[in-house]
Amino acid sequence: MRLDELTRPDFPILERVVNGHPLVYLDSAASSQRPRTVIEAMSQYYARSHANVHRSIHTLGEEATELYEAARDRVQRFIGAQHREEVIFTRGTTDGLSLLAETIGRTLRAGDEVLITELEHHSNIVPWQLATRDRGAVLKAVPLGDDGTLDLGAFERLLTRRTRVVAFAHVSNVLGTINPVAGMCARARQAGAFSVVDGAQATPHLSLDMSALDCDFYAFSAHKMLGPTGLGVLYGRRKVLEALEPGRGALDCDFYAFSAHKMLGPTGLGVLYGRRKVLEALEPGRGGSEMIKEVWIDRAQWNDLPWRFEPGTPPIAEAVGLSAAIEYLEKLGMDAVAEHERALTRQTLEGLAAIPGVRVYGPPASEARGAVVAFSVEGLHPHDVAALLDAEGIAVRAGHHCAMPLMRRLGVVGTSRASFSVFNSPEEVRHLLAAVGELRTAL
Amino acid sequence: MSATQAARGPYSDVIRERWRRPRFRGELPGAGAVAEDVNPLCGDRVRLMLALEGERVSAARFVGDSCAICAASADVLAELVVGRSRAEALRVGAADLLAVLQADIRPTRMRCVTLPLSVLATALNGKR
């Protein structure tokens, strides 16, 4: 049985009818959908076991802690991390990368360099801009070749003894390019730099093994891999993590913070109010609770790993949901997932390339690619493409995909992007191709 | 709204017509008030150029790289402000544009309609 035939009944959202058509969801690169097991694991958790973790000495507190820490163990196995302490729960990929940029950032000195690439998501650009800016450090980017892959010769030239961090995406969220992670991490280590990998677009699609990739850090989001929003994972090699101090400092009393989970709402959500003037003048900063072992008025001793980097009540239900998502993916088998999505990607690339006036971006179909296809239709703005496809029940993403430097490199304001998950079918791709074929006469 | 129009979503006949054959797209050399802005959500960019005779807008043109809704909105706005005083032009609002565009615009696309309005406000309030 084909993977989509097997999985479609598990995704309740696919029963939706949009604008009179059955939903064709081709936006999993932005956020995937959830199988019933994930939704049920989270509501079961809320209905039966919810309490705060780690410090609540009662049955529910213990159950919640057990479930939360079991999720960490499952993530450890799923990504092939050597130690459970190397798995840090965050609020998402952006949060994990920001945490790193803040933490490593305070150790940067004038003249140090951080090396990113031209194909990064804004989340792997802006935190490094903030980290380098005030310390006189320099941010550099590896250029992109015309074939949509990184210029590795330029990478070698840009990597010097001044380079402190090499930060790059495993899979491009626009082009689908799969970067040579293991090789780049090895070169970073030889140069004495931390390697930081943005894994947001890889974790739902590729079989992962941290010891084979041999990176120092690897960040990803639960909501892109059939799991809940509000939760991410930051993997860090234990040796490297142990040497780092938590980067998030004090709060400012011009702010007022509160949690949804203390007012009947979900975990993983909080509100931070700040006077606009104060907010505008300040850089982000955080800290407190689970990341601390002992506190005095003038100092604090940090907690052990991984909790040292998990301030505040963590997204517990979300961790339970992520655990269920991983279980679901593991049952399907990541090799089967990758194969299914490769077939859909190839079908889309070849189909779109055959439509007059349509341009596709990124490496050719014959190359290893992620499950995304960015394209443009001559004479149409990407947002109009997305809106016209939505009228056919087809959900695609359009715009700059949080990668404006890459858009500039491609010479476009934006693109439309179809992306795939386990439940997408060849019939849906045919539906997309037929609809795109009609677009040039639609406006 | 007709069934055909519902199927087209936000793309009314007016928007399609203005997108294909804009009346006010182009440069305006010697414009006395110029502004440009970007919609951070989608990267749409609109530049509005106004010629002023005293307090009155005597000519208007726009250029930009934007979706059909935003371009049609800018085109309609340029048409609406010509002949009006500065103060009158500033009173043109989203409702006036929507009345001409005759389209069913959902909240996610409203910024496409209103981007030209904020560009107009900058052009008329700010200095070149």
Which pTM value belongs to this model? 0.79
CB contact (8 A) between residue B69 and residue A404:
no
Q: Are A382 and A375 in contact (CB under 8 A)?
A: no
Instruction: Copy the structure tokens of residue A248.
Output: 């998030």
Spell out the domains of chain B, with CATH numbers in brackets.
3-125 (3.90.1010.10)
CB contact (8 A) between residue B43 and residue A384:
no
CA dihedral A417, A422, A423, A424 (to 10 degrees): 40
Chain B within 8 Å of A40 (Cβ-Cβ)? no
Q: What is the DSSP letter of A323?
A: H
Work out the minimum CA distance from B95 to partner chain A, whole angstroms.
22
Query: What is the per-residue pLDDT for A382?
Result: 92
Within a 10 A sphere around the Cβ of A338, how many other Cβ atoms?
17
Residue A288: band (very low, low, confident or very high) from pLDDT cuts 50, 70, 90: low
CB contact (8 A) between residue B8 and residue A391:
yes
Lowest model confidence (mean pLDDT) among A99-113, A306-320, B64-78: A306-320
Same domain? For A148 and A18 the reply is no
Q: What is the mean pLDDT of chain A?
A: 85
Chosen domain end from A327, A359, A380: A327
CB contact (8 A) between residue A384 and residue B67:
yes
Query: What is the per-residue pLDDT for A246?
Result: 64
Residue A391 lies in a domain: yes
Catalytic sites of A, residue numbers = 402
Chain B within 8 Å of A387 (Cβ-Cβ)? yes
Question: With contacts defined as CB-CB under 8 Å, which chain A residues touch B11?
Answer: 384, 387-388, 442-443
Assign residue A113 the CATH number of its domain: 3.40.640.10
Length of chain B equals 128
Lowest model confidence (mean pLDDT) among A273-282, A408-417, B63-72, B117-126: A273-282
The total domain count for chain A is 2
Flag whether pLDDT at A401 surpasses 80. yes
Chain B within 8 Å of A443 (Cβ-Cβ)? yes
Report the candidate in A27, A58, A75 with the shortest Cα–Cα distance to residue A321.
A75
Chosen domain end from A277, A294, A327: A327
Q: For chains A and B, what is the number of CB pairs under 8 angstroms?
A: 50
Same domain? For A7 and A54 the reply is no
CA dihedral A230, A231, A232, A235 (to 10 degrees): 150
Residue A274 lies in a domain: no
Instruction: Copy the structure tokens of residue B113.
Output: 């309609």
State the first-to-last Cα distance of chain B, in angstroms, to the nearest integer.
42
| One-letter amino acid for residue A117 of the chain | T
Residues spanned by the domain of A18: 3-26+333-441
Residue A99: band (very low, low, confident or very high) from pLDDT cuts 50, 70, 90: confident
CB contact (8 A) between residue B68 and residue A413:
no
Query: What is the per-residue pLDDT for A272?
Result: 45
Residue A279 lies in a domain: no
Residue A254 lies in a domain: no
Residue A47 lies in a domain: yes
Q: What are phi and psi of B126, to 5 degrees?
A: -90, 180
Residues A211-247, buried b or exposed e (16+ Cβ, 10 A)? eebbbbbbbbbbbbbbbbbbbbbbbbbeeebeebebb
Assign residue A10 the CATH number of its domain: 3.90.1150.10
Same domain? For A215 and A92 the reply is yes
CA distances from A63 to A35, A74, A321 (A): 24, 16, 15
Same domain? For A51 and A74 the reply is yes
Lowest model confidence (mean pLDDT) among A223-237, A240-254, B91-105: A240-254
Q: Which residues pair with A90 in a beta bridge?
A: A232
Same domain? For A292 and A376 the reply is no
Flag whether pLDDT at A279 surpasses 50. no
Query: What is the per-residue pLDDT for B37?
Result: 93
Per-residue pLDDT of chain B (128 residues; tens, 9 = 90+): 444 444 456 899 999 999 999 999 999 998 999 999 988 777 789 999 999 999 999 999 999 989 999 999 999 999 999 999 999 999 999 999 999 999 988 888 899 999 999 999 999 986 43
